[in-house]
């Protein structure tokens, strides 16, 4: 029985949905889009958060040396803006990942018939609501700052 032994290397089945090149290209494009959104949101959040702009993370006891290695002039407002930007990107991605992986979009009424799933849906809507409220407050803060004349810039003196 020469063929009674199992092969050492098992070839995985082909990926469903067509060519893996298209899937890799879609993954790279999505990653680039999410990266651009992260940079955009970090910029807008850091523009509106000036309350902790004089507290440098290098001055922290213990963990300050880690932040000094990253950036000497990193402030608490930079860290908070980065965390808010990650939150604004990660929450919708996590929710849509679960919706797609569980197939909720196929039959939402059947999925919502379970009381536990209703609680999950309420928590997901609450997370989306927090992201929307955070971005709305940030947008209105930027609009108010521009309508007042830009509080972050020194006034122009004219004679």
Residue 131 lies in a domain: yes
Residue 6 lies in a domain: no
What pLDDT was estimated at residue 70? 83
Residue 10 lies in a domain: no
By mean pLDDT, which of 9-13, 93-97, 136-140 is the weakest?
9-13
CB 89 within 8 A of CB 37: yes
- If one compares 106 and 22, the residue with the highest pLDDT of the two is 106
Mean pLDDT of the chain: 79
What pLDDT was estimated at residue 3? 58
Residue 142 lies in a domain: yes
Domain span at residue 112? 20-148
What pLDDT was estimated at residue 9? 58
Q: What number is the average pLDDT over the span 134-146? A: 80
Residue 15 lies in a domain: no
Residue 41, class by beta-carbon neighbours within 10 Å (0-12 exposed, 13-18 middle, 19+ buried)?
buried
String of DSSP letters for 84-131? HHHHHHHHHHHHHHHHHHHTTTT-HHHHHTSHHHHHHHHHHHHHHHHH
Q: Residue 75's pLDDT band (boundaries 50, 70, 90)?
A: confident
- What phi and psi values does residue 157 have, to the nearest 5 degrees? -90, 130
* 28-70: pLDDT as tens digits: 998 898 888 888 888 877 777 766 677 788 887 877 888 888 8
What pLDDT was estimated at residue 146? 75
Farthest-apart Cα atoms in the chain, separation: 101
Q: Work out how many domains the chain is built from and give that number.
A: 1
Q: Residue 159's pLDDT band (boundaries 50, 70, 90)?
A: very low
Q: What number is the average pLDDT over the span 141-157? A: 64
């Amino acid at each position: 029985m020469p063929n009674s032994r199992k092969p050492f290397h098992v070839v995985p089945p082909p990926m469903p949905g067509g060519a893996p090149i298209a899937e890799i290209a879609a993954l790279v494009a999505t990653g680039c889009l999410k990266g651009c959104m992260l940079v955009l949101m970090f910029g807008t959040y850091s523009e509106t958060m000036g309350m902790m702009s004089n507290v440098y993370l290098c001055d922290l006891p213990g963990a300050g040396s880690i932040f000094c290695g990253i950036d000497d002039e990193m402030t608490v407002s930079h860290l908070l803006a980065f965390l808010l930007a990650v939150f604004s990107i990660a929450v919708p991605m996590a929710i849509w990942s679960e919706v797609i992986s569980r197939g909720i979009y196929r039959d939402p009424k059947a999925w919502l018939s379970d009381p536990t799933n209703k609680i999950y849906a309420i928590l997901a809507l609450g997370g989306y609501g927090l992201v929307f409220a955070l971005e709305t407050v940030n947008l209105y803060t930027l609009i108010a700052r521009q309508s007042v004349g830009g509080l972050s810039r020194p006034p122009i003196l004219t004679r």
